[in-house]
Amino acid sequence: MAETTDMIEVTINKDVLVIGCGAQGLESAEAVAAKGYKVVLVDDGDVPAPASADIEVMANTTVESLAGMTGDFRTCLANGSGRSDRTFGAIVVAPKYGLAPLNEAYGLALDDKVVSMTQMEALLGDAAFKKTLGQGEGKTIAFVSGFGQEGDPAATSRVLEAALTVQKLGNARAYIYANNVKVGARGLERLFTLGRNEGVVCFKPLEKPAIEQGDTLKIVINDPVVREDVALEPDYIVVEEEVVVGRANLDLAETLRIDTDLDGFIPSNNVHRFPANSNREGIFVASTLEDAPNVALRVADLLASGVKSVAANAAVVDETKCTICLTCYRCCPHGAIFWENGIAAISPVACQGCGICASECPMDAIQIGDFTDDALKADIEGAVASVSGTPSIVAFCCQNSALEAGEAAKAFDTELPQGFRMIQVPCAGKVDVEFIMKAFVEGADGVMVAACHEGNCKAERGSTFAKWRVEEIRKRLETIGLSKDRLIFTTIASNMAEEFSMKVRMFAEKL
Amino acid sequence: MKSQSGKVMVVGGGIAGLTAAWELARQNVSVELVEKSCFLGGYSIGYTCKATDTCQQCGACSVEKMLKNVVGEPLINVHLRTEIGSLDRSDGFKISLKKNCEDMAEALVLKGFSRHNAPLYVRGKGVTEAAPEGAVDIEKMGSEGDINVDAVIVATGFTPFDAEIKGTYGYGKWENVITGLEFENIVRENAGIVRPSDGKRPEKVAFIQCVGSRDERLGNLWCSEVCCPYAMRMAGTIKHDNPDAEVSIFYIDVQNTGKEFPVFYEKIRENVRFVRTIPVDIYPTENDGLKLRHMAEDEGSPSFEEFDMVVLSVGLMPGADSKIVSETFDIPLTVDGFLDDSVDSGVFVAGTAAGPGTIAGSMAGAGKIAFDAVKYLGGAK
Ligand SMILES: Cc1cc2nc3c(=O)[nH]c(=O)nc-3n(C[C@H](O)[C@H](O)[C@H](O)COP(=O)(O)OP(=O)(O)OC[C@H]3O[C@@H](n4cnc5c(N)ncnc54)[C@H](O)[C@@H]3O)c2cc1C
Ligand code: SF4
Ligand code: SF4
Ligand code: SF4
Ligand code: SF4
């Protein structure tokens, strides 16, 4: 690895855009403002007045487009009164998700007796309604949850609170039909117990309850404890609600070029995004109230006093080689590539130095700061040359995972083959076909590409790119008369020293 | 950003304390990080990776990453094997440190959990044989003296439930009844799952959930939040390692793992049997096997079933020092015996010291606390 630490100072815009004014959006705006930055808070609906006067609010406003880069994001904000172009150093996304009742999952239609959780909460906020519940023999309310979806502690908490409110009226009764009771959040087990002590009845049938919706309502379950059918004719049935992502959030993610998880929630399911990052530097995500101060910390880290010192050569495009094929733009997992004067340009602030672009560029037009092609080739030569007398194994190790595990394996003196050498790469996605072949040409007996487990790659797809390349080369090795087993791809986490050496030993034995 | 100065003491070097310290340093606040044991990282620095074909987002490797950040951060000054002696609040916080002499690791060589632990090895009292290179004598570790700071973050963590209290499970008597915590360490040290009695791969494994948590008789009226996720992830790794293995999880209610839970749960249910009941007791059988008695809901009468190994999913109890810490720093205890994190007098509580939580949750919470602490410093000036 060559030592190159040319630093440049980049001016960063100190304004911050916060999108979404739910509780966590408001909190984020306040937290960022408290760090001394100017905040613009937009929402596609109404915006309540924030406490801090430093926050500019724009209601009924959407982000129509995003250009520019981290530190200099150029947005077009659109609302009824027109469009305005605004520039921001950082963006905070505080998505507001919707709720949809799952009555259909129970074969129910919503009416004045079958209501959603939100409706029941509103009703319970109404003193007149509450009075009717306690009148006469008192009304019976049944809550059904966990059969239309798995649910979560937030949903459980709402059911428990509402059931307790009903039960406490004295003359009304609350029944809960639940699958898994999601008590995995502070205070919920206690709340659940309190409810039961107050007389709330909780059934946990193994199957979804059968419900008849006619002139009267009827719920029948087979009670797993007494092993009998138990029927109830409640006055109200309250159906659970699911959280829905909604078109607006998906569109926003697309406009901002940030990843979502499988369910469409921002950001992707990856520990490297934790707690408040997206895949793009400078775009942060506040999903919960607790994320808000974390977002403010990350914003302050990035914007600092408006000038940032960054490596000048994190990734550099050679304009004489670039043929504007767009490959790098498409494959950069961190959205760090843009177009300038007709060629690809890389933002030194946004670039994470993973090197995927460099490996994918068909023109070899991109070089990565500390990991230039020349430097890596020199590393390969050095590695193979340093082994004599024993089989040599060259392992390209991702610095986020395998390199850590490998260094730990050495530090703790685990058993590693004598001829084992590691080559540090910024991400397995930087391991080119050329480097692997070079290792064989230099005389390596075995080559290993050691990456993060899928889903744990900081560059999201770097590990997958590496896997594909290895598969391709294994096929090619056969055609040039080498055994394909001399090359393997493996995945490992940074904390797994013993597993790392076991994997290396197993590879060495097979060679 | 306004430049910030000041000094904060962080007590406890688990993932919560590490994160708090690092976030403070990022904001230019210097940190005195006080850790009672000989190694930074808390419980989670010893956990195993629970990836199958794909990462299961358990967060264990995030602890490794955070520890690396912290040891490379010049603004953080680490005191290992050190405890809080006394506190004088007449002018800011004057805190006396003392060596933790409770555990002298008699005749033991302690090994670190990460290569970022420094030292990597600690030579306990009275060790005569040669210890690995770089080992430090336990007696030489620890800080003493007074330190003045402007605020304190308490991150003294949790205590795993002592499984021997649930006597009918025979923990401590039958070798192949282990806790989730032991599972974590065994798998990491052996690069795979082996059972204690013979070092063989178990073919039939049971997990028992809620051991110590959600237990009215013990007065533990909380869900520990992490034991369903870790048990399911561990069950997944067993099946991944050995597709022929039979794994059962005995449970009350399945709690979520986090993002993408519906997909995760559906997949795990294809491979793992879920039985909604908590077993009554465990007896040893031949060949170090274990016979488990339970009342499965759909069966009515008790059933007996044999397993090669039983994992007790122990929950998160209040930290061993929560009472002392509560007295020293004047932090009220919650009904459950954890530290109340709503205090606001220059003393803050982060991580599982305040109640059960995951690694990810402890990190987010610690970030928030670091933010609050800096705000407090700004106001105090
Ligand atoms: C078996 C098991 C498996 C788990 N698996 C997972 C998992 O896969 N994923 C996940 O997210 N979570 C998991 N967890 C939860 C995880 O362990 C916690 O979320 C995490 O360890 C909390 O970190 P912490 O810093 O709050 O506490 P701790 O890890 O307890 O750290 C506290 C630190 O403070 C020190 N300390 C204590 N008292 C003092 C004192 N008086 N003075 C100075 N220092 C002191 C301790 O020595 C320790 O280093 C698991 C828990 C268990 C029991
Ligand atoms: S991949 Fe290479 S050739 Fe294609 S646009 Fe990017 S730098 Fe230019
Ligand atoms: S090195 Fe990685 S982050 Fe940087 S521009 Fe290339 S692909 Fe994007
Ligand atoms: S399973 Fe856990 S330790 Fe393994 S890579 Fe994923 S987050 Fe890291
Ligand atoms: S997480 Fe699961 S095992 Fe742990 S206490 Fe909660 S319900 Fe029980």
Q: How confident is the model at residue A227 (pLDDT cuts 50, 70, 90)?
A: confident
Note the pLDDT tens digit of each residue in A407-434.
999 999 999 999 999 999 999 999 999 9
**Nearest residue in B to A302, CA atom:** B1
Q: Which of A34, A184, A297 faces B367 most closely, judged by CB atoms? A: A297
Q: How confident is the model at residue B297 (pLDDT cuts 50, 70, 90)?
A: low
User: Is B49 in contact with A493 (Cβ distance < 8 A)?
Assistant: yes
Kindly report which listed range (A238-242, A495-499, B150-154, B294-298) carries the lowest average pLDDT score.
Answer: B294-298
- Is the separation of the CB atoms in B160 and B179 below 8 Å? yes
Structural domain total, chain A: 4
**Predicted confidence (pLDDT) at residue A3 exceeds the cutoff of 60:** no
What average pLDDT does the segment A114-123 reach? 98
Question: Does A430 map to a domain?
Answer: yes
Instruction: Give residue B299's pLDDT.
Output: 62
The answer to whether domain B7-157+319-380 and domain B161-316 are alike in fold is yes
* CA separation for the pair A42, B212 (Å, rounded): 47
Instruction: Give residue B298's pLDDT.
Output: 60
Same domain, A412 and A471: yes
Same domain, A183 and A134: yes
**Residue A387 phi, psi dihedral angles, 5° rounding:** -105, 130
**Predicted confidence (pLDDT) at residue A320 exceeds the cutoff of 50:** yes
Q: How confident is the model at residue B381 (pLDDT cuts 50, 70, 90)?
A: very low
The tokens for A28 are 């984020």
Kindly report which listed range (A76-85, A142-151, A226-235, B160-169) carries the lowest average pLDDT score.
Answer: A226-235
Instruction: Give residue B3's pLDDT.
Output: 47
Mean pLDDT of chain A: 95
Q: How confident is the model at residue B2 (pLDDT cuts 50, 70, 90)?
A: very low
Same domain, A387 and A342: no
CATH architecture of the domain formed by B161-316: 3-Layer(bba) Sandwich (3.50)
Instruction: Give residue B290's pLDDT.
Output: 98
Question: Does A2 map to a domain?
Answer: no
- Is the separation of the CB atoms in A494 and B63 below 8 Å? no
Same domain, A162 and A136: yes
Q: Torsion over CA of A46, A51, A54 and A60, rounded to 10 degrees?
A: 0
Closest ligand to C-alpha of residue A356 is 3
Instruction: Give residue B94's pLDDT.
Output: 97
Same domain, A301 and A322: no
CA of A50 to the centre of ligand 1 (A): 37
Residue B39 Cβ inside 6 Å of ligand 1? The answer reads: no
Q: Which CATH number is A391's domain given?
A: 3.40.50
Q: How confident is the model at residue B1 (pLDDT cuts 50, 70, 90)?
A: very low
Note the pLDDT tens digit of each residue in B312-352.
999 999 999 999 999 999 999 999 999 999 887 899 999 99
**Predicted confidence (pLDDT) at residue B4 exceeds the cutoff of 80:** no
Residue B60 Cβ inside 6 Å of ligand 1? The answer reads: yes
Q: How confident is the model at residue B261 (pLDDT cuts 50, 70, 90)?
A: very high
Q: Where are the domains of chain B?
A: 7-157+319-380, 161-316
**CA of A328, closest atom in ligand 3:** 7
Same domain, A412 and A459: yes
**Predicted confidence (pLDDT) at residue B104 exceeds the cutoff of 50:** yes
Instruction: Give residue B164's pLDDT.
Output: 98
What average pLDDT does the segment B173-197 reach? 96
**Nearest residue in B to A33, CA atom:** B1
Q: Which of A307, A323, A340 is the last residue of a domain?
A: A307
**Predicted confidence (pLDDT) at residue A453 exceeds the cutoff of 80:** yes
Instruction: Give residue A18's pLDDT.
Output: 98
What average pLDDT does the segment A286-307 reach? 96
End-to-end alpha carbon distance in chain A: 27
Q: Which of residues 445-504 of A touch B (CB under 8 A)?
A: 452-456, 491-499, 501-502
Same domain, A175 and A291: no
- Is the separation of the CB atoms in B48 and B359 below 8 Å? no
Same domain, A426 and A488: yes
Instruction: Give residue A49's pLDDT.
Output: 84
CA B192, B194, B199, B203 torsion: positive or negative? Answer: negative
* CA separation for the pair A290, A186 (Å, rounded): 14
Same domain, A357 and A384: no
Q: What Rg, from alpha-carbon coordinates, does chain B have?
A: 22
CA of B357 to the centre of ligand 1 (A): 9
What average pLDDT does the segment B136-157 reach? 97
Class of domain B7-157+319-380 as given by CATH: alpha beta
User: Is A494 in contact with B191 (Cβ distance < 8 A)?
Assistant: no
What average pLDDT does the segment A366-393 reach? 95
Residue B44 Cβ inside 6 Å of ligand 1? The answer reads: yes
Q: Which CATH number is A294's domain given?
A: 3.50.50.60
Residue A307's Cβ-side half-sphere holds a number of Cα atoms within 13 Å equal to 4
User: Is A494 in contact with B367 (Cβ distance < 8 A)?
Assistant: no
Which residues constitute the domain of residue A337? 313-367
CA of A455 to the centre of ligand 2 (A): 26
Question: Does A3 map to a domain?
Answer: no
Q: CA B14 → CA B90, B365, B366, distances in Å? A: 29, 13, 11
- Is the separation of the CB atoms in B44 and B359 below 8 Å? yes
Same domain, A131 and A226: yes
Q: What Rg, from alpha-carbon coordinates, does chain A have?
A: 29
User: Is A493 in contact with B26 (Cβ distance < 8 A)?
Assistant: no
The tokens for A442 are 């230099």
**Predicted confidence (pLDDT) at residue B88 exceeds the cutoff of 70:** yes
Q: Whose CA is nearest to atom 8 of ligand 3?
A: A332
Question: Does A1 map to a domain?
Answer: no
**Nearest residue in B to A275, CA atom:** B364
What average pLDDT does the segment A373-402 reach? 96
